[in-house]
Amino acid sequence: MSVPERHNEKLRALVAAANADDELYGLWLAANVNAIERLGMTDHGPVHVKIVMNIATRLLRLLVEGGVEPSIVHNYEMGHDDAEVVVAAASLLHDVGMAIHRADHEAYSLFIARERLGSLLSGIYDTRTASIVKAETLHAIIAHRSDGKPLTIEAGVVRVADALDMAKGRSRIPFAAGSTSIHSLSAAAVESVHIERGENKPVRLRIELSNSAGVFQLDQLFREKLAGSGLEPYLELEANIEGEGEKRLFQEFRL
């Protein structure tokens, strides 16, 4: 695992602890067996976790640069570096419950994450502060479920970051492997996801599509994840179709 640390020593220590945690890596592998081999879904293991952690960290930093105050800063007078630890830890652990089952995996992730966080945060925080970071992390994990209700900026960031791992067929919408449906076609149509500083809002999400079917991903998955995340006022999204390979039904899509 790696993420741009930007001199955040707490984040560096967290990622180092995760890389040294063989039990955590085993859980990621088990999550992938259930997701890929048994359910025919996209991966929910190390690759997905790394992508989500990097997306979440970038989202949070752009929000902070745009004047948005993380909840752990607002409510506990902690630092932006602590907010980065929360989103990184939640990203690392949000899908470990897949090692048990897809159904209710977010809830299963909670009790696994609670145990792993004890060792991951050891040496970074004192006991009382670690309890706060752990609680904020667990909240972000459970709030990424489909009907989740994030109460913090950090939880909203993780929820949205999870949905943005959609490029090159990496959709979070489950569909039967090898099937031809709007799910599979739309997933294949998302070429790239770019997270940039916005013009009118702190964050601009620019999605490149190879086919207009990709709008289904944005309208079905991303809209659901964004709704109620708390990040709606801070994000602008646009999607564009690359090339001339199909009859264009639209030029640009905005959310």
So where are the chain's domains? 9-163, 167-254
- The answer, yes or no, to whether residue 172 has pLDDT greater than 80, is no
Distances (CA, A) of 86 to 42, 53, 115, 203, 212: 25, 10, 15, 20, 36
pLDDT at 23: 97
For 9-163, CATH number? 1.10.3210
pLDDT at 214: 82
- Mean pLDDT on 74-102: 98
Beta-bridged to residue 232, according to DSSP, are: none
Whether residue 11 contacts residue 85, with contact meaning beta carbons closer than 8 Å, is answered with: yes
Looking at per-residue confidence, does 162 or 179 come out higher? Answer: 162
- Band (90; pLDDT cuts 50, 70, 90): very high
Q: d(Cα 171, Cα 43) in Å, to the nearest integer?
A: 10
98: tokens are 């897949």
pTM, two decimal places: 0.90
What is the bridge-based pairing of β-strands 252-254 and 203-209? unpaired
- The answer, yes or no, to whether residue 250 has pLDDT greater than 60, is no
Q: Which of 130, 134, 131, 137 is nearest to 152 (CA)?
A: 137
Q: d(Cα 92, Cα 95) in Å, to the nearest integer?
A: 8
3-state secondary structure of 238: strand
- Band (252; pLDDT cuts 50, 70, 90): low
Identify the residue whose tokens are 């994000």: 235
